[in-house]
Each structure stands twice: as C-alpha cells, then as structure tokens.
Amino acid sequence: MVIVNERMVGCRQMAGNRDEFVMRMKEELCQIDLELTDRQIDQFYQYYENLIHWNTMINLTAITEMGEVVTKHFVDSLTLKRAVGDIERISYSLIDVGTGAGFPGIPLKIAFPDLKITLLDSLNKRVKFLGELILSLELKGIKAVHGRAEDYARENVSRETFDLCVSRAVANISTLAEYCMPFVKTGCYFVAYKSGKIEEELIAGKGAIKKLSGEIEDVLSFRLPNSDERSLVKIKKIANINKKYPRRSGLPSREPLR
C-alpha cells in the first residue's frame, strides 16, 4: 500500500510540474507574440524532461530550474523571430554553431517546423544527446553533427550554403563572426545571441566583420520576461569570404580578428 501511495504522489507531482510548465510557457510566449499548439508545448516539456535526465550523466547546462529553463533557454532561443520576421512562413536552412544542449536550434525547430536545421557541436557526447532527443521528439528535417566550426566550414557541402547561421556560444563577436560567417550564403544572415551590454564589443568587432564580408544590419535589444538584457546582432553577408577564413583550430578564439 505504501508503494502505491508513493507512486500516486510521484504522478501528482509530475502532473503538477507539467501544468506549471505549460502555464509558464504560454505566458512567456505571449510576451514575445508567439502562439504554439498543445503538441508543440508538449514537445518542449519532453525536451525539458530529457535535458534534466541527461544532465545527470553529462554536463549540458548549469540552468536546471524549470522556470529558468523556460525563460533563459526556450523563450530566449525563440526571440530570433524579432530579427527574422518571416521565420514562421519560409523554410530557411539554418545552422546552429556551438549548439551545446540544442539551443537555439531545437526550440526553433519545434516552434517553426519547416526550418531545415543543422546542429553543430564539437563534443560527441552532446551530439549523442541531441540525436536521441531528435528521435524522442519525432523531429524531421534536423540533424546533429559532430565537428569544429573551423573544420566544418571548410567542407564544400557546408561552406556558404545556409540562409541563416545562429549562435548562442559564449565568445566575442569577432570570434563568433569568423566561426559563423563562412557558413552563410551571400545576401543572407548570421545572427548572434548576446547578453548584457555589448556596445564596446561591437565597436571592437567592426574590423573583423568587415574582413569577413559582413556588415551589421541591425542590433535588436530587449529584455526577457525575467528582465535579463538580450541583444540579437544581425549581420548581413555582402560578398564571398576569403577562403583563408576560418583560420585553423583555436586561432579565432586566441587571436580574434581586428
């Protein structure tokens, strides 16, 4: 009888967590002017459950509290809609560089299922997690790839082939631009997710962006529902990039372009 009661308590707790999750997601999605189906919100909850489970085995994220995951991972990822206004209507090809636990690529795929997405990460354990997650969520038109941006961007199958490149990786804009711009088609965009004050970083990165055949088209600054500062730096690629970029492994981070 004790076992049955414990199971019942566990089930009630899970149901309560799910209800709280759904309410939080809907409230915060409303704040970024986005509405998802019940199926999509259920996929986000499955994502959250998988993230917490796998995080006990491999280091995926330091953010595990449900409300923070919703705001700082899921909703933050979906703010790309601010920079790409037609993302709900057009089947863009998109690469997420340094995706880690799948942010922002998997939230974008759940919310905008017509996107064709490649998730790139240098750690094979994370790529294994992403592969299992993709199967669990029954996502189509998305793949997880193990590799370094410096190497993958040199392959003919991936260089200058994407409509959009995005990254939430923690690096300065000069380094991120060298990793990401080589993936983007001429006339298309790299969008960097940034937090905090970024004015000085953007000034310091102007030279690098120019060398990489880019120009900053827009910087969209806003606050997340929990009031954290965020910016999306939208960089347009205006010409093909010199084939010497990206430089060999490690150099973009150790010696950023000026």
For 176-190, write each residue's pLDDT tens digit.
999 999 999 999 999
| pLDDT > 80? residue 57 | yes
In whole angstroms, how far apart are CA 108 and each of 46, 77, 217?
A: 15, 7, 22
Question: What pLDDT is recorded for position 9?
Answer: 39
- For 2-254, give the CATH class: alpha beta
Sequence-ordered alpha helix ranges (H) in 33-161? 38-55, 66-68, 76-78, 80-83, 105-111, 124-136, 149-152
What does the pLDDT read at residue 170? 83
Query: Quick one: pLDDT at residue 16?
Result: 54
- Per-residue pLDDT of 73-121, as tens digits, reads 999 999 999 999 999 999 999 999 999 999 999 999 999 999 999 999 9
The arithmetic mean of pLDDT across residues 24-29, rounded, is: 96
Higher-confidence residue of 13 and 196: namely 196
The size of the chain, in residues, is 258
Tell me: pLDDT of 11 over 70. Answer: no
Residue tagged 């392959």 (tokens): 155
Question: pLDDT digits over 126-163, tens only?
Answer: 999 999 999 999 999 999 999 999 889 887 778 999 99
Tell me, what's the pLDDT at 10? 42
Q: What is the pLDDT of residue 156?
A: 74
